[in-house]
Amino acid sequence: MAQVRRLPQSLATNTTLFSVLAVFGIGAYCARSHLLPRVHAESNEPPAMFSGFGFTTLRLQSVKVVNHNTKRLVFEFPDPNARGGLSLTSALLTFSRPKGRWLPVLRPYTPISDLNQQGSLELMVKHYPNGKASTHIHSLVPGDTLTFLTPLKGYSWVPNQHPQIYAIAGGAGITPIYQLIRGILDNPNDKTKINLVFGVNSEQDLLLREELEEYKRRFPGRFDYVYTVSQLEGETGGLKKGYVTEELLKTVATDRGDAKVFVCGPPAMETSLIGNRGTKGILDRLGFEKEQVYKF
């Protein structure tokens, strides 16, 4: 979902750093509030909401329940002409203080809306039972606000850099993968071919399914996908039963020469694909070089 991208270990474990970031954020916000109006006045370009480090608080416009643990949330910009200003494969670092906590909680989420969209952005957020940030975000109702601290850049995608990419997503990890797919296919100058393998626990967990199927309809020669569901009663509706395995990827990743592989999913899935502490993963055994693989 809007998968929480994992923070670097230093940010994930050092709560003191959270407070330091907050202090710097306040200073950056004050500077930004003085500079942005002038920049906007001197340019015909719509203002960018996330142009650097600094607090940006947005009002929640609408909420849509997707399944038992996932919601889609639309946040509106104060200026309806503004755009996010994010580059492809970027996430946003959210800053929240759940009820009863003194220290803030920082978590990155990937927008699923068009990055050039004006007036709003959309997140898809999975609720984890013990997730401090996701529990807080799921408690929000229209009219409430959420604070964003800074954009986090991911892979620097260059159109047509690779003739073929393989995208492997597990569960909530579909969010950055979807942003990349959308950015490539919506760019008329980018001719990259994409094959997606999406593994989930149940059919209800196939997030963004309608959007992905629409892209397949629009780009039949360039985009295809395989859904594999671990808890599935038989193979129905084109769904495969099982996990993202080496046998499955052998049938999908057939062009390994100049291809690029993007991976995002639960830690166990990523370890099986990429390996860990000197052990080879599935992708290595399939013949992909280390530099061909990018993990969100």
Residue 32, annotated as binding a ligand: no
Is 62 known to sit in a ligand binding site? no
108 is in an annotated binding site: yes
109 labeled binding residue: yes
Is 139 annotated in a binding site? The answer is: no
The rounded distance, in Å, linking the Cα atoms of 287 and 256 is 7
Q: Give Dmax (Cα) for the chain.
A: 61
Phi/psi at 144 (nearest 5 deg)?
A: -75, 170
**Residue 134 labeled ligand binder:** yes
Angle, alpha carbons 108-244-197 (nearest 5°): 70
Residue 127's nearest CA partner among 98, 147, 151, 102 is 98
> Would you state the structure tokens that stand for residue 292, as one six-digit string?
């061909």
Ligand-binding site membership of 37 (annotated): no
The DSSP bridge pattern shows strands 145-152 and 56-67 to be antiparallel
Coil/strand/helix, residue 230: coil
Binding-site sequence positions? 107-109, 126, 132, 134, 175
Binding-site sequence positions for FAD? 107-109, 126, 132, 134, 175
